[in-house]
Structure 1
Amino acid sequence: MTSFPGSPKILKGAIVGVDVFNPVASVAVFQYNPAEISRTIEPQYSEAGGGRAEVLRLQGPPRETISAEITLDLVDQMEAGKAGPLGGGIAGHLAALEMLVYPKSLLVAANQILLATGTMEVIPPVAPLTLFIYGWKRVVPVKIGTISITETAHDPGLNPIRAEVRLSMTVLTYNDLPPTHPGYWTFMAHQVVKETLATVASVNSIGAALGEEVDLFSL
């Protein structure tokens, strides 16, 4: 398909699992950006004390949950002779999403060896740092809540070629992670960007209310 010459280049969203043991196993770039993203923000008010001066005190950043529906479709590519990674349709792309919540097989095997040799303490599996990237102004560390996959079409070998994926995620903040964790500073950077956007928008809104064009910043 030939796109209109004046069309802007579209930045694709992604979910990236940062794993030092297998850095490319959990990189899921969206084939099509979600048409809709639902976000729920729940303020975290402090419950310490009961005085009137405490009623609006915040104990940290709000709890934010994100829901998104992603479409994966290989039908158009199949017309060009493409069969997906290892000829498995979109199975590889689905696997990249699913691996975000799987313990690594090498770690599972290592723990089994430790148990077999009588070791009582095994290595607890830790999920990779997962980043939800939807534009460069929105990069947040998240914890996957649920991944719901509905496969709606398959090739003759029963490989999935079309699927709808529904994701629910909880944004991890500096209250959830230690300062030594890279996700701590990823969220801090996200909040700084959000504060900057809010300031720019507020200044412009004040100018509009006064009937003047105020543009102190440009992004």
Structure 2
Amino acid sequence: MSSDFPRSPRVMKGGLVAYQLPELTPTIIVYQYNPDEVQRQLRLRGGGGGGRGDSNRVNGPPEETLSFTLDIDAADQLEVPSENAITVRNGLHPVIAALEGLLYPPYPLVIANEALAIAGTAFIQGEQAPMVLLVWGPRRVLPVQIDSLSIREQAFDQQLNPIRVQVEMSASVQTYRDLDITNPGYWVYMSSFTQKEVMATLNTFGNRTGIQGLLPL
């Protein structure tokens, strides 16, 4: 949809990128509309022990959870049916399936394991959900694990395909404590960690003079 203000800055779209390792061809889900807000919760990983001098000890980076709501609407696509045949036939089922797929193990592996189980094979491969990267601007690209999706289908076409959907999503940031060093997500997190340090050094917000005068150290 074109902007009413042609000189207004172009807003970058957020999204999710999923890799079913070791394959490096991603599934990319671009937000149709960026969420109005992102709620972030950081919780300290205490180091335990409880001895004197241990009060500030931590067991790695904090546990971080992000929650946000996505609004998806097929109205624009349905206005031009000749250019959007997939949406006309399926509504928003494809994007819903892509979002739900972030919590599922790969289908071919599931079928292979079921066949092995029926054949009585003792060895079955581990089933893992995709590695997901949350892309929220150039300064926030994080490996995450999707914890939950709450999908509200709000409108339907004549074939009962959903055409307006609201998705509430919760995701946990995967850190160097959660990922093996051979996992690409490990290096994505370390890059983000480095960038956070750089951003902290740029903090000049507010007048520090009054506080600095009170410091005992």
Superposition TM-score, scaled by structure 2 size: 0.88
Structure 2, unpaired ranges of 5+: 210-217
Deviation per residue, 1:140-160 (Å, 9 max, x gap): 111111111000001111111
**Partner SS, residue 44 of structure 1:** coil
**Partner SS, residue 97 of structure 1:** helix
Deviation per residue, 1:78-124 (Å, 9 max, x gap): 12223544721111111111111112221111112212322111011
RMSD value over aligned CA atoms? 1.9
2:13 corresponding residue in structure 1: 12
8 Å Cα contact 1:90-1:160 kept in structure 2: yes
2:61 corresponds to 1:89: no
**Partner SS, residue 46 of structure 2:** coil
2:161 corresponds to 1:163: no
Across the two proteins, how many residue pairs are aligned to each other? Answer: 206
**Partner SS, residue 96 of structure 2:** helix
Structure 1, unpaired ranges of 5+: 211-219
Q: Give me the whole-angstrom Cα distance separating, in 2, the residues matched to 1:29 and 1:79.
A: 20
1:70 corresponding residue in structure 2: 70
1:187–1:2 Cα change, 3 Å: closer
The equivalent position to 1:143 in structure 2, one of 142, 145, 153, is 145
Q: Give me the whole-angstrom Cα distance separating, in 2, the residues matched to 1:142 and 1:133.
A: 10
Alignment of 1:35-114 (within 5 A): 35-51=36-52, 53-81=53-81, 82=84, 84-85=86-87, 87-114=89-116
Q: Give me the whole-angstrom Cα distance separating, in 1, the residues matched to 2:158 and 2:85.
A: 11
Superposition TM-score, scaled by structure 1 size: 0.87
Deviation per residue, 1:117-174 (Å, 9 max, x gap): 2211101111111111111100111111111100000111111100000001111100
Q: Give me the whole-angstrom Cα distance separating, in 2, the residues matched to 1:83 and 1:89.
A: 10
How far did 1:195 drift? 1.1
1:40–1:109 Cα change, 3 Å: same
1:120 corresponding residue in structure 2: 122
8 Å Cα contact 2:74-2:87 kept in structure 1: no
1:183 corresponding residue in structure 2: 185
1:213 corresponding residue in structure 2: none
**Partner SS, residue 202 of structure 2:** helix
1:194 corresponding residue in structure 2: 196
Amino acid corresponding to residue 106 of structure 2 in structure 1:
K
How far did 1:62 drift? 0.2
